[in-house]
Amino acid sequence: MIKKLLIANRGEIAVRIVRACAEMGVRSVAVFAEPDRHALHVKRADEAYFIGDDPLAGYLNPRKLVNLAVETGCDALHPGYGFLSENAELAEICAERGIKFVGPRADVIRRMGDKTEARRSMIKAGVPVTPGTEGNVASAEQALAEAERIGYPVMLKATSGGGGRGIRRCNTPEELAQAYPRVISEATKAFGSADVFLEKCIVEPKHIEAQILADSFGNTVHLFERDCSIQRRNQKLIEIAPSPQLTPEQRAYIGDLAVRAAKAVGYENAGTVEFLLAEGEVYFMEMNTRVQVEHTITEEITGIDIVREQIRIASGLPLSVKQEDIQYRGFALQFRINAEEPRNNFLPCFGKITRYYAPGGPGVRTDTAIYTGYTIPPYYDSMCLKLIVWALTWEEALARGSRALDDMRVQGVKTTATYYQQILANPDFRSGQFNTSFVDNHPELLNYSIKRKPGELALAIAAAIAAHAGL
């Protein structure tokens, strides 16, 4: 069993891993750049080490992180999500230095990180994929020719992309010609590779992903699916488990496809297989070789601690569950509470949290790294917390989500919480029938006003009086 684990990440996912370590008797080691000196993951871990003044360089230096793991007596490293979580070099260096990597092997990360190679692997395994190019396109002229063959609209994608970046929908040859150099530039800056490919654009699909777990003994299971259709510019906002849009037959089919995909590439540890669903057809989109931001809702409906399973698998232990033992109960929703102003084109709003009050009550969970007095730095993602609710029925889950959003207080910065209230009240969303175009098709949801609670108003008045009096 792993004894000491270095967490090569920050923020709420680092706190989440610290908690799993504490429950398993594993000593946790945090790392922090200067902007994170007073971060919650630093306060909560058993040990914490400084990795430099630069906000990003330390978190993105695989050899430095593995060397630190060795120097501090760690026998394992967890990459979390984002940063180097899908970096094959990090997994390779861990193997070289005798550090257990909490994730799949480097060759699997590399194979699934290359979107064209992933497509080939899925085709070979009999998993349906979106029509597209056989490999990368070498020029704008080739892209235009391939798009004519595939048929518009098409998606121009970075081969090494992820997280919604390096991707453009092109409806006409003119749009493709304009998008090509932009995607090349974005892909080069974000992923260090200029490779791109084309896929047929599946218009207004549902975005469904299946959580899988696989150990080194050949056991692979799925933990059912999550619906990630509520998104903006390919960035997920609200996630749901299980999807209220699937039939039992579709649910079983997608789960089986996910297991088949994982086995086809010799996958180990936790991963997610993402699909598009349109007009009854299911298409493989990509595989994420890491824990997902939205793993929480799968945990809520199945009762399985995914991070705990990750650490067990990396320790060389078999899965603690078999497929026939895995059941789901009720519905769970996760709201990504971002420090953004939705009415101002979702402009990031960094700054000091003057007051934070976490919602509670039955079926409510918050995963976060913020606290009253914490300053959200401008160098990282704008997500400040994840609010998760669970209930036995879809209607009860909606009501609980609305109540929990209303209970929550995050003052000092603007957030997306009120916008999510508008989504929860929308008839199309409440009906459980929506797709990835939901946000674009409902711009009226941004026409809301924020009414300050009496307590908040009283606090603001008291603060103004105190400031005027010089107190």
- 3-class state of residue 22 by DSSP: helix
User: For residues 344 and 356, what is the distance between their CA atoms, to the nearest angstrom?
Assistant: 23
355 is known as an active-site residue: no
DSSP 8-class letter at 204: S
DSSP 8-class letter at 370: -
Q: Which residue has the tokens 């891993």?
A: 17
User: For residues 375 and 221, what is the distance between their CA atoms, to the nearest angstrom?
Assistant: 40
User: For residues 34 and 55, what is the distance between their CA atoms, to the nearest angstrom?
Assistant: 7
Angle at 196 between CA 90 and CA 439, to 5 degrees: 90
Query: Which residue spans within 121-166 are E strands per DSSP?
Result: 154-158
Q: Which among 290, 336, 365, 400 is annotated as catalytic?
A: 290
Q: Could you tell me the sign of the dihedral formed by the alpha carbons of 69, 88, 291, 232, in that order?
A: positive
197 closest CA partner among 161, 159, 234, 225: 159
User: For residues 345 and 129, what is the distance between their CA atoms, to the nearest angstrom?
Assistant: 33
Q: Could you tell me the sign of the dihedral formed by the alpha carbons of 190, 195, 198, 199, in that order?
A: negative
Token duo for residue 415: 């957030």
Please check whether residue 102 is in contact with residue 85, taking contact to mean a CB–CB distance below 8 angstroms. no
The burial of 324, by beta-carbon neighbours within 10 Å (0-12 exposed, 13-18 middle, 19 or more buried), is given as exposed
385 closest CA partner among 293, 267, 274: 293
Active site residue ranges: 290
